[in-house]
Copies of this chain bind each other. A is one copy, B any other.
């Protein structure tokens, strides 16, 4: 990995990783880099529930302790949560230092490591505190996916399906057809997904980095997904699981708006199910979901805008009447 990091000529390297990834890769990363620059490792606890402002403080304390200056870089080694947290810490330390993403989960490799969205959650909503801060380099090694639990592979596939649904029907079909081989760990199939998803996402982000328009389409399934995560305390559901279920809800909502055929909704639902992801919720109420979504970043002047599908491979942004949202939620298992 040093061949990607050294051209940045860092004065120091701070590896930020978690207690699950560290035993697997931290020592290897550190020894690959430490001959070139002072390299230290800072561990954070694993899990979305630690994506909080006090974890940022934990990292900045380490940066101060290690006397990291403006020429230092942070290397985010882990999944999407590590990347979001480490990237946000980099964005606010000394008003911004550089960072490198080394994603070790499928979800991070296909989605979150690209695009520069960083941040932490707030009890009032997901990613409410954060910054746009682009990584200097993203290094994805599909070999690291071999150590990934099946549930995490499925979570990553949610974002792969999302990219197809948002922007590329042919990509959706190809990916839907190789879900089983990707779940079985077929490296070539996984590498296709990483390359294909990054290409779709990077093209959209390049046209609209700050999400003033088109980039918002990448939030397909996320308003619903964030609500599910928020209502369950960011711990019971993986982000990708909530997004998978959110894709189905977004498809149902699109159908209720008359934009998507019932057969297309079934296609989305079957792909999500075959990816090993939940297609329904249990034990949550539509009322709480609506309340939670009103606090989401995508809400504006009290109205929640949704990303909907006008077909497979064609997303659009809409303000939706509340009763249709409730209808879609009920169809998805909300009480």
Contact = CB atoms under 8 A, between A and B. Distances in A.
A66 to B, nearest CB: 10
A123 B71 CA distance: 21
B132 A69 contact: no
A128 B301 contact: no
Q: Count identical subunits in the complex.
A: 2
A56 B57 CA distance: 12
Nearest to A297: B94
A301 B69 contact: yes
A71 B297 CA distance: 10
Contact of A129 (B93, B123, B132, B302): B93
B92 A131 contact: yes
B117 A95 contact: yes
Contact of A96 (B71, B131, B295, B301): B131
A78 interface: no
Q: Give the size category of A's interface with B.
A: 35 or more
Contact of A70 (B94, B119, B132, B300): B300
A64 B301 contact: no
Interface string A54-69: 0011001100110101
Contacts of A294: 67
23 contacts: A53-B53, A53-B56, A53-B57, A61-B122, A64-B122, A64-B125, A64-B295, A65-B124, A67-B295, A67-B299, A67-B302, A69-B300, A69-B301, A69-B302, A70-B297, A70-B300, A92-B92, A93-B128, A95-B117, A95-B127, A95-B131, A95-B297, A96-B131
Given A65-B124, A93-B129, 6 more contacts: A60-B129, A61-B122, A64-B128, A71-B300, A71-B301, A95-B131
Would you list the 10 A-B pairs with minimal beta carbon distance, nearest first?
Answer: A64-B124, A94-B297, A95-B130, A11-B301, A92-B129, A69-B300, A69-B299, A95-B132, A95-B131, A64-B122
